[in-house]
């Protein structure tokens, strides 16, 4: 047979419609009912043999025609309240036999099942043990360890039900499972400690276990009973029997049970949150139907055990974390004490770093430097592994079988079959890799794990059959290290967090130092250049007296050059002041000293200084303020704002234009407005006018681009806001607010 054919058979097995078998086990009867009328729309074909009713005659009939009005009314009440499990059990006698009714709703249809009612179920007491639910729950809650919890559970369930074998089966991360507790009759083959291949419980079966707490097969040698009609009349689809107690199971599973030497089974799910953690699996050599009441008690055990497992595992995880806290604190101190880079301190704590995860070796990668301690692969091998980890882009990576995911690791598996690694975000090339050596161990499987399934020919052709051998199969595992624990993963993640925080703190500190250095440089340059600029201005003034602009040609040229020098020196002084102001604003150290100011007086001063500039271009400059307005402002700085805004307006307003400056009260603020009839600002440029170095390029050859940025900083330092509106060809308006002095408030 070709491998592809075998894979196709495996895929067909995985796709087997176990939720929609179209049949039930023969020990009971199943009906589906319409709502609200409770008409029978589907029925199992064995209703004739068990209830003495022809199935075709029941279809479309009301339920009471089968079980009587009183019992039908009880079903109606259960359906209306939706509390199926809280209602009294439905006990009926049909065709001279006692049955118990079980009701559930799934996918908008009521499913009513009847199974034989066993009044005097007496499981044989194994080893003289008997049990009851109350005492059993007390024993479960008193367990101090997980293993004790498992042992109590299997023994109590065996005592309650009489199954020949009860075991707890835990799923491993790799998919296979291990028996971790067992209670068996003396004649039964023991499975405790054995591993079972993942294929023994396919993925779709696991999903069904996850959604349904309990499954039972009283007799694996049964013949399935079909449903009539085969498809739901209301939907035309097969009936989903996921939550039906009587659901017929896969023929492969029934054969699997027979191969194990059992004819009856019951499985109870063990959950951790919403994930399937394991199973309580019960088996019996002879057919056995455990009553619903006892099954419910066993389900309760499974639910309590699930909660206890989750609680105890959570406590264990907390304990593992606590064991790492002290070492992590010392390593964090080492990171903080690093002088040059984030991992310097770790190299001084190599032994502690290895003890943190119980590793045999550790490698610290920092750019081109590689530090190795303990037993590690060769540097080139570590570099190649680190590069592969970077490509995976996982903050923390862990594997106890590295060669299975990274084949080159087979070359150094004796030293590093297991690796735990952390890395910092790109582009930083930093990482820590812990290594654990190979630990060869014998794994005992139930049967050959390489041959979990077989093939057989029948009249229907070639198909899969479950394995027939459950003999202990010893496999020596190579390339495996001890597993990294939750505590190890926690430690790696916490150390990475600490490294990131310390690296970020270093970057912030370096940037703060750079900002301080820049501010200091600007202050020094501004101070040291201001004196030479003053001297140049004074000398230019003295030289102008010696050279007249109305004298000979040479004298006029020298006079013109002196004027240019004075203008350049003036602009340099302004630029130095702007740079100093900008530095203070960016550092958050811009300080204003507000005092009460009369707006009208301030406008008078502004007019006297700025009106001559407007008159040179024939611009109409007007000031308008509400009478009696008082503001809290720094006189020098606020005048700087006004002169900057009005000066810009004069610069960009054409001849014979107009500029209006106003101030009006707006509650606790005074709103200032500077409006011009100039050329305006393009819409795409308007959002950027208060950014550093933005400047209107046309008609502004000497603009530094800092004026409006500083203006915004001054306004914000006063606790106000500034905004701009503009329309190309129709002018601009700048508005800013300043806190007013409220009448009667202390000044």
Residue 659 near residue 675 (C-beta atoms within 8 A): yes
Q: What is the mean pLDDT of residues 261-283?
A: 91
Q: Are residues 188 and 287 in the same domain?
A: yes
Q: What are the Cα distances from residue 252, in Å, to 200, 465, 476, 706?
A: 10, 6, 30, 82
DSSP 8-state secondary structure symbol assigned to residue 45: T
Among the three residues 566, 586, 606, which one is the final residue of a domain in this structure? Answer: 586
pLDDT on residue 19: 85
> In the structure, what pLDDT confidence band is assigned to residue 503 with cuts at 50, 70 and 90?
confident
pLDDT on residue 232: 93
- Cα gap 100→90, rounded to integer Å: 6
The answer to whether residue 327 is domain-embedded is: no
Q: Are residues 552 and 520 in the same domain?
A: yes
Query: What residue spans of 364-449 are helical by DSSP H?
Result: 379-392, 413-416
- Cα gap 147→180, rounded to integer Å: 8
- Name, in order, each residue with C-beta under 8 angstroms of 523's C-beta and a sequence gap of 6 or more: 580, 583
Looking at mean pLDDT, say which of 348-362, 473-487, 582-596 comes out highest. Answer: 348-362
- Name the residue range of residue 536's domain: 507-586
Q: Are residues 171 and 112 in the same domain?
A: no
Q: What are the Cα distances from residue 724, in Å, to 327, 536, 642, 669?
A: 58, 38, 14, 18
pLDDT per residue over 92-121, tens digit each? 999 889 999 999 999 989 999 999 998 777
> In the structure, what pLDDT confidence band is assigned to residue 471 with cuts at 50, 70 and 90?
very low
Task: State whether residue 282 is helix, strand or coil.
Answer: strand
The answer to whether residue 238 is domain-embedded is: no
Looking at mean pLDDT, say which of 20-34, 111-125, 439-453, 491-505 comes out highest. Answer: 20-34
Q: What is the mean pLDDT of residues 17-43?
A: 92
Counting every residue, how long is the chain?
747
Higher pLDDT, 241 or 441: 241
- Measured in degrees and rounded to the nearest 5, phi and psi for residue 615 equal -65, -30
The tokens 């240019």 sit on which residue? 564
Report the percentage of the chain scoring pLDDT > 90. 36
- Measured in degrees and rounded to the nearest 5, phi and psi for residue 617 equal -105, 10
CA pseudo-torsion sign 738, 741, 742, 743: negative
Find the CATH number of the domain harbouring 86.
Answer: 3.30.450.20
Q: Are residues 284 and 154 in the same domain?
A: yes
How many CA within 13 A on the CB side of residue 665? 13
Q: Is the pLDDT of residue 201 over 50?
A: yes
Among the three residues 95, 116, 137, which one is the final residue of a domain in this structure? Answer: 116
pLDDT on residue 8: 44
Find the CATH number of the domain harbouring 559.
Answer: 1.10.287
pLDDT on residue 197: 74
pLDDT on residue 671: 95
Q: What are the Cα distances from residue 425, in Å, to 365, 396, 671?
A: 13, 11, 49
Angle at CA 516, nearest 5°, toward 515 and 520?
Answer: 120
Looking at mean pLDDT, say which of 143-147, 533-537, 554-558, 716-720 comes out highest. Answer: 716-720
Ranking 291-300, 434-443, 518-527, 713-722 by mean pLDDT, the lowest is 518-527
The answer to whether residue 458 is domain-embedded is: no
Q: Are residues 342 and 408 in the same domain?
A: yes
- Cα gap 59→217, rounded to integer Å: 27
Find the CATH number of the domain harbouring 263.
Answer: 3.30.450.40
The tokens 């739901």 sit on which residue? 232
pLDDT on residue 467: 44
Q: Are residues 193 and 299 in the same domain?
A: yes
pLDDT on residue 193: 79
pLDDT on residue 142: 80
pLDDT per residue over 312-345, tens digit each? 888 888 888 888 899 889 988 888 887 667 677 8
Report, in angstroms and rounded to the nearest whole number, the Rg of the chain calculated over CA atoms. Answer: 44
Q: Is the pLDDT of residue 457 over 70?
A: no
C-alpha 531, offset from chain centre: 60
Q: Are residues 436 and 357 in the same domain?
A: yes
Q: Are residues 188 and 286 in the same domain?
A: yes
Find the CATH number of the domain harbouring 683.
Answer: 3.30.565.10
- Cα gap 144→138, rounded to integer Å: 12
Q: Are residues 665 and 527 in the same domain?
A: no
> In the structure, what pLDDT confidence band is assigned to residue 579 with cuts at 50, 70 and 90?
low
Ranking 21-35, 50-64, 423-437, 533-547 by mean pLDDT, the lowest is 533-547
Q: Is the pLDDT of residue 26 over 90?
A: yes
Burial class (CB in 10 A: 0-12, 13-18, 19+), 373: middle
pLDDT on residue 475: 44
pLDDT per residue over 47-88, tens digit each? 999 999 999 999 999 999 999 999 999 999 888 876 666 677
Among the three residues 420, 450, 484, which one is the final residue of a domain in this structure? Answer: 484
Find the CATH number of the domain harbouring 370.
Answer: 3.30.450.270
> In the structure, what pLDDT confidence band is assigned to residue 584 with cuts at 50, 70 and 90?
low
Q: What is the mean pLDDT of residues 557-581?
A: 60
The answer to whether residue 4 is domain-embedded is: no
- Cα gap 251→711, rounded to integer Å: 85
CA pseudo-torsion sign 569, 575, 579, 581: positive
Average pLDDT in the chain: 81
The answer to whether residue 539 is domain-embedded is: yes
Residue 678 near residue 546 (C-beta atoms within 8 A): no
Residue 279 near residue 165 (C-beta atoms within 8 A): no
Q: Are residues 153 and 179 in the same domain?
A: yes
pLDDT on residue 710: 83
Tokens of 261: 């030497």
Number of domains in the chain: 5
Residue 298 near residue 157 (C-beta atoms within 8 A): yes
Task: State whether residue 79 is helix, strand or coil.
Answer: helix
pLDDT per residue over 641-659, tens digit each? 998 899 899 988 999 999 9
pLDDT on residue 583: 61
Q: Are residues 64 and 172 in the same domain?
A: no
Which run of H or E residues covers position 355?
helix 350-357
Burial class (CB in 10 A: 0-12, 13-18, 19+), 701: exposed
pLDDT on residue 619: 92
The answer to whether residue 289 is domain-embedded is: yes
Ranking 168-172, 512-516, 593-597, 646-650 by mean pLDDT, the lowest is 512-516
DSSP string, 425-486: PTT--EEEEEEE----EEEEEES-TT--EEEEEETTEEEEEE-----EEEEEE-S--PPPPH
- Give the end-to-end CA distance of the chain in Å, rounded to a whole number: 101
Which run of H or E residues covers position 345?
helix 344-347
- Cα gap 510→344, rounded to integer Å: 17
The answer to whether residue 233 is domain-embedded is: no
Q: Are residues 349 and 282 in the same domain?
A: no
Q: Is the pLDDT of residue 210 over 80?
A: yes
Which among 281, 599, 691, 681 is positioned nearest to 446, based on CA atoms?
281
The answer to whether residue 711 is domain-embedded is: yes
Q: What is the mean pLDDT of residues 406-425?
A: 90
């Amino acid at each position: 047979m070709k491998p592809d054919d075998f894979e196709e058979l495996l895929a067909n097995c995985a796709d087997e419609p176990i939720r929609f078998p179209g049949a039930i086990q023969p020990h009971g009867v199943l009906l589906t009912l319409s709502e609200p009328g409770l008409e029978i729309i589907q029925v199992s074909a064995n209703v004739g043999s068990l209830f003495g009713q022809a199935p075709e005659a029941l279809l479309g009939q009301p339920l009471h025609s089968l079980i009587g009005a009183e019992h039908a009314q009880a079903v109606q009440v259960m359906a209306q309240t939706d509390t199926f499990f809280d209602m009294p059990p439905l006990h009926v006698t049909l065709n001279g036999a006692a049955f118990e009714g079980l009701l559930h709703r799934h996918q908008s249809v009521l499913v009513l099942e009847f199974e034989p009612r066993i009044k005097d179920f007496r499981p044989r007491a194994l080893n003289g043990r008997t049990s009851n639910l109350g005492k059993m729950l007390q024993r479960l809650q008193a367990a101090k360890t997980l293993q004790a919890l498992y042992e109590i559970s299997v023994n109590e369930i065996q005592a309650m039900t009489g199954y020949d074998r009860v075991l707890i089966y835990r799923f491993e991360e790799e998919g296979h499972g291990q028996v971790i507790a067992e209670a068996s009759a003396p004649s039964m083959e023991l499975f405790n400690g054995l591993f079972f291949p993942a294929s023994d419980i396919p993925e779709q079966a696991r999903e069904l276990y996850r959604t349904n707490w309990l499954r039972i097969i009283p007799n694996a040698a049964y013949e399935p009973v079909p449903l009539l009609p085969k498809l739901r009349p209301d939907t035309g689809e097969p009936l989903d029997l996921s939550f039906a107690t009587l659901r017929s199971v896969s023929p492969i599973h029934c054969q699997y049970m027979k191969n194990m030497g059992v004819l009856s089974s019951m499985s109870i799910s063990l959950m951790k949150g919403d994930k399937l953690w394991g199973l309580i699996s019960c088996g019996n050599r002879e057919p056995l139907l455990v009553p619903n009441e006892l099954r419910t008690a066993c389900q309760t055990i499974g639910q309590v055990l699930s909660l206890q497992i989750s609680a105890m595992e959570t406590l264990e995880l907390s304990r593992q974390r606590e064991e790492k806290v002290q070492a992590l604190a010392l390593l964090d101190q080492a990171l903080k004490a690093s002088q040059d880079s984030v991992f310097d301190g770790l190299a001084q704590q190599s032994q502690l770093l290895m003890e943190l995860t119980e590793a045999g070796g550790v490698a610290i990668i920092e750019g081109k430097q590689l530090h190795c301690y303990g037993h590690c692969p060769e540097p080139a091998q570590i570099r190649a592994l680190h590069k592969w980890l970077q490509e995976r882009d996982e903050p923390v990576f862990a594997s106890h079988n590295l060669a299975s995911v990274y084949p080159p690791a087979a070359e150094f598996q004796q030293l590093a079959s297991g690796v735990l690694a952390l890395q910092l975000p790109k582009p930083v090339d930093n990482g820590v890799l812990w290594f654990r050596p190979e630990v060869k161990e014998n794994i005992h499987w139930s049967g050959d794990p390489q041959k979990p399934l077989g093939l057989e020919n029948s009249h229907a052709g070639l198909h899969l059959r479950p394995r027939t051998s459950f003999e202990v199969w010893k496999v020596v595992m190579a390339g495996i290290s001890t597993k990294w624990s939750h505590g190890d993963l926690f430690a790696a993640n916490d150390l990475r967090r600490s490294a990131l925080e310390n690296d970020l703190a270093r970057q912030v500190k370096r940037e703060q130092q750079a900002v301080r250095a820049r501010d200091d440089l600007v202050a020094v340059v501004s101070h040291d250049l201001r004196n030479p600029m003053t001297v140049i201005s004074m000398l230019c003034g003295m030289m102008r007296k010696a050279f007249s602009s109305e004298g000979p040609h040479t004298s006029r040229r020298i006079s013109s050059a002196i004027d240019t020098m004075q203008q350049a020196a003036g602009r340099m002084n302004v630029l130095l002041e702007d740079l100093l102001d900008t530095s203070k604003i960016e550092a958050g150290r811009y300080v204003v000293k507000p005092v009460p100011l009369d707006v009208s007086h301030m406008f008078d001063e502004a007019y006297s200084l700025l009106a001559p500039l407007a008159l040179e271009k024939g611009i109409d400059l007007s000031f308008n303020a509400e009478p009696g307005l008082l503001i809290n402002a720094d006189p020098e700085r606020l005048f700087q704002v006004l002169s900057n805004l009005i000066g810009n307006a004069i610069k960009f307003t054409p001849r014979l234009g107009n500029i209006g400056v106003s101030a009006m009260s707006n509650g606790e603020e005074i709103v200032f407005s500077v409006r011009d009839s100039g050329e305006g600002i393009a819409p795409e440029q308007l959002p950027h006018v208060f950014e550093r170095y933005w400047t209107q390029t046309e008609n502004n050859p000497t603009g530094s681009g800092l004026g409006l940025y500083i203006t915004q900083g001054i306004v914000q330092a006063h606790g106000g806001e500034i905004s701009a509106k503009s329309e190309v060809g129709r002018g601009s308006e700048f508005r800013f607010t300043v806190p007013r002095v409220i009448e009667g408030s202390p000044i």
